[in-house]
Amino acid sequence: MDNTRNSRPGAGDERFEADSMRARPGGTPPDPMPVSQSRSSRNSPIDEAKDIAKGTAESLGTIVSGIVEDLQQIVRGEVQLAKTELKEDATQIGKGAGMVGAGVFFGLIGFIFLMLSLTYLLNEWMELWIAAGIVGLGLVIVAAILAMSGKSQIQEANLKPEETIDSLKEDQEWANRQIKSVKK
């Protein structure tokens, strides 16, 4: 244990000078080296070389750490972009599907009544069962054509987040350039 703190400080006591500087508000920070020891004796060429090597290692570590942090931020941003892009697409598709469903429902009801009226109109010239068969066959043909057309449109739809994929490719190129510059 250091007994100099408990002893009464005397004139020229370096610890007393450092403690008194800390105690005064606005005082300058104490010099970590005693006044009697010269700074030039501490910095030998070997110590200076070690300090330079340590600074280089720290700066390389800082660069690598910075690159890793940047990559983490980029990945987080890209994930957020992909989520947002897919959410917007899904919301738009959901709204469109709801509207199409409502349109199909009311259209189907109207269509049923139109087909009933056509069946009764044809009943004026032929038997009711023959008229209903002709109308039914016509409806099945129209339904098949619409179903095939809808299927081809669904297959053409692209739900890939193209912007996110492009951005990720750019980020990968950037990261490769950063890693190559650190290796140099």
> What is the residue extent of each domain of the chain?
43-183
* pTM recorded for the entire structure: 0.36
User: Which of the four pLDDT bands, split at 50, 70 and 90, describes residue 116?
Assistant: very high
Give the torsion through C-alpha atoms of 28, 31, 36, 41, to 10 deg.
Answer: -140
Per-residue pLDDT, 106:
92
Asked if 167 and 81 touch (Cβ cutoff 8 Å), the reply is yes
Each residue of 38-69: b (16+ CB within 10 Å) or e?
eeeeeeeeeeeeeeeeeeeeeeeeeeeeebee
For residues 75-89, average pLDDT: 83
Alpha-carbon distance 56 to 64, whole Å? 12
